[in-house]
Structure 1
Amino acid sequence: MVRKYSSEALAILVDELSRLPNIGRVTAQRLAFHILKGPAERAFSLSDAIRAVKEKVRYCSVCWNITESETCGICHDARRKPETICVVEEPRDVITLESTGEYRGLYHVLHGALSPLDNITPDDIRARELVDRMSESVEEVIIATNPNIEGEATALYLSRLIKPLGVRVTRLARGLPMGGDLEYADEVTLARALEGRTEL
């Protein structure tokens, strides 16, 4: 059913909100009316935050995490252990792992996982950039892709690329449920998974 709005601006806002992931038309309409009813300053603040994130945020030239400068704070931090690189699918996974307070190495963000059904190939993820980061100082690569079919395929592919370089390749322990995403795991589960990682 097509809904008619007495305001074209409101209709456009509902359309734009409904394009966000997991936001259907009904939820988009609720959000639009919430924005409409709230103070103008809050709506303008939201608008400014969206504009700022699109204008200022970019990818770290080393690990491909999000940052507002050439390199992210993690890559720039001299206290981090450069001999260990943890590979994740998305920048939000870095935030999730950092919340455990257990990991002190560096990261590499792939920006996806291999998925032949979705036409996502090794050229579509940052696998080559990861291999380019392998040096004498790198001793271990922890593959922390999601425990689903795409994540497992990506882990196996990366392992086959990196192991011949003489670098130890491990996988997070199986404390994480198959088919789940890192961002939904609690800190204790993630900490145990990091501690119990296994050789690939």
Structure 2
Amino acid sequence: MTANRDIDALIDMMARLPGLGPRSARRAVLHLIRKRELLLSPLADQMRRVAETARECRNCGNIGTSDICDICAAEKRANGLICVVEDVADLWAMERSGVFKGRYHVLGGTLSALDQIGPDQLRIPTLVDRVDRESITEVILALNATVDGQTTAHYIADQLEGRVTLTSLAQGVPIGGELDYLDDGTITAALNARKAL
């Protein structure tokens, strides 16, 4: 390690970030220090600003800098569609694609008996309320294809039965995917969701 406690502490903090281990954190910190004026100082200032201004959208659960995020505030996105995702990272991934033009609802996780996470620990009651309040016509369940994700999807479907059209993302073989590299669950989902050519 280095001979400076502050630098060591910064490396330790960076190493806690997803995708960074101790070696990557050391390289990143060394790079930031070498580019202090260009990167380190502006990064520190921006992190301070985000720490002060970042908040969760009261409507959908997205992260932004106001009580209502830009997506929920956009009138053109009030088209009766809500895409339900597990967390903000999933919302941001959907937005990167630029395909979905409706609004979102972030659950904050999935139901899990093992972790004692029930519907009230998630934003499921808020979703049911939004469906009634915002005249939603379709809810798209974009939850991960895990046991907990599918359990959550079934629970939400039960809660919203008869109120809206419920759909889910297609599952199966990704474009460019090779069968040899896919897990059994993906192959099963792809086979069951097959369509006519």
TM-score by length of 2: 0.79
Aligned residue in 1 for 2:65 = 68
User: 2:133 aligned with 1:128, yes or no?
Assistant: no
User: 2:165 aligned with 1:168, yes or no?
Assistant: yes
Return the letter of the residue paired with 2:13.
E
Query: Residues of 2 paired with 1:33 and 1:120: CA distance?
Result: 40
Higher relative contact order (CA 8 A, sep 6+): 1
Aligned residue in 2 for 1:105 = 102
Residue 176 of structure 1 and its aligned partner are, at CA, apart by 6.7
What is the SS of the residue equivalent to 1:133?
A: helix
Unpaired segments ≥5 residues, structure 1: 178-195
Query: Residues of 2 paired with 1:5 and 1:98: CA distance?
Result: 41
Unpaired segments ≥5 residues, structure 2: 175-192
Residue 123 of structure 1 and its aligned partner are, at CA, apart by 2.2
User: 2:136 aligned with 1:144, yes or no?
Assistant: no
Return the letter of the residue paired with 1:32.
V
The root-mean-square deviation of aligned C-alpha atoms, in Å, is 2.1
Query: Residues of 2 paired with 1:146 and 1:80: CA distance?
Result: 24
Note if contact 1:88-1:107 (Cα within 8 Å) is conserved in structure 2.
Answer: yes
Residue 151 of structure 1 and its aligned partner are, at CA, apart by 1.5
Question: 1:1-200 maps to which residues of 2 (within 5 A)?
Answer: 4-135=1-132, 137-164=135-162, 166-175=163-172
Query: Residues of 2 paired with 1:101 and 1:28: CA distance?
Result: 32
- How far does the alpha carbon of each residue in 1:61-103 deviate from its partner, in whole angstroms, 9 at most, with x for none? 2111122122111111111244111101122222222233332
Query: Residues of 2 paired with 1:159 and 1:70: CA distance?
Result: 28
Return the letter of the residue paired with 2:146.
N
- How far does the alpha carbon of each residue in 1:94-129 deviate from its partner, in whole angstroms, 9 at most, with x for none? 222223333222111112122333333222211111
What is the SS of the residue equivalent to 1:118?
A: coil
Query: Residues of 2 paired with 1:143 and 1:59: CA distance?
Result: 21
Query: Residues of 1 paired with 2:33 and 2:72: CA distance?
Result: 41
Note if contact 1:147-1:176 (Cα within 8 Å) is conserved in structure 2.
Answer: no
Query: Residues of 2 paired with 1:47 and 1:117: CA distance?
Result: 39
The alignment-based identity, stated in percent, is: 38
Return the letter of the residue paired with 1:102.
V
Matched residue pairs, number? Answer: 174
Poorly superposed stretches of 4+, deviation over 3 Å: none
